[in-house]
Chain A
Amino acid sequence: MIICPNCSHENPDGASYCDSCYTPLPVVTISTCPNCDSPVQSDASFCGNCGFNLKSASEHEKSMTEETDNTSSPEEVPLPAESPISTPEASPPDLSDDDLALVQELIEPHPLTQLQQIGAFLIHVQTNINLELPNNLQVIHIGKPNNMIPPDIDVSGFPDSDIVSRVHADIRFEGNAYYFEDSGSSNGTYINNSVLAAGNRHKLRSGDRISLGKGDRVSFVFQMSS
Chain B
Amino acid sequence: MSVNLSCDFSDRHLDSSVSTSQRQLAITISVDGSLSVSNTPLNLCLVLDHSGSMGGQPLDTVKKAARDLIDQMSYKDYISIVGFDHRAKVVVENQTLINPESVKEKILYLKAGGGTNIDEGIKLALKELSKSMKSTISQALILTDGENEHGNNDLCLQFAQLAAAEYGITLHTLGFGDYWNQDILEKIADAGGGTMAYIESPDQASAEFQKILRRVQSVGLINAHLILKLAPNVRLAELKPIAQVTPETIELEPEKNLNTYIVRLGDLMLGNDRTIMLNLYINHNPDQIVAASTANTIHAVTAQIRYDDPQSKLEGLLSPEVTADLTLIKDFQPQINPQVQSSILALAKYRQTQLAETKLKQGDRTGAVTMLQSAAKTALQMGDQQAATVLQANATTLQSGTDLSEAERKQTRMVSKTILQIPTNQISTNQIPTE
A interface residues with partner B (beta carbon < 8 Å): 6-7, 9, 12-17, 19-23, 29, 162-163, 186-187, 193-195, 197, 213-215, 217
Contact = CB atoms under 8 A, between A and B. Distances in A.
B434 A215 contact: yes
A16 B434 contact: no
A17 B239 CA distance: 12
A2 to B, nearest CB: 10
Of A7, A12, A186, the most chain B CB neighbours within 10 A belong to A7
Given A9-B239, A14-B18, A21 B434 contact: no
Given A19-B239, A163-B434, A7 B348 contact: no
Interface in B7-37: 18-22, 24
A39 to B, nearest CB: 14
Nearest to A2: B22
B435 interface: yes
B285 to A, nearest CB: 14
A17 B435 contact: no
A125 B350 CA distance: 30
A6 B22 contact: no
A12 B348 contact: no
Given A7-B355, A14-B281, A213-B434, A22 B20 contact: no
Contact of A17 (B22, B240, B374): B22
A142 B378 CA distance: 31
Interface string B419-435: 00000000000011011
Given A194-B370, A195-B370, A6 B352 contact: yes
A22 B370 contact: no
Given A14-B20, A20-B239, A214 B348 contact: no
A14 to B, nearest CB: 3
B188 interface: no
Interface of B: 18-22, 24, 237-241, 279, 281, 344-345, 347-348, 351-352, 355, 366, 370-371, 374, 378, 431-432, 434-435
B348 A193 contact: no
B348 A23 contact: yes
Contacts of B348: 17, 21-23
B352 A21 contact: yes
B200 to A, nearest CB: 28
Contacts of A193: 370
A22 B18 contact: no
28 contacts: A6-B374, A9-B239, A12-B20, A12-B22, A12-B237, A12-B238, A14-B18, A14-B20, A14-B21, A15-B22, A17-B24, A19-B237, A19-B238, A19-B279, A20-B240, A20-B355, A22-B348, A22-B378, A23-B352, A193-B370, A194-B370, A195-B366, A197-B366, A213-B435, A215-B431, A215-B432, A217-B431, A217-B434
A123 to B, nearest CB: 22
Given A7-B371, A19-B239, A194-B370, A214 B434 contact: yes
A78 B281 CA distance: 40
A195 B331 CA distance: 38
A29 B352 CA distance: 26
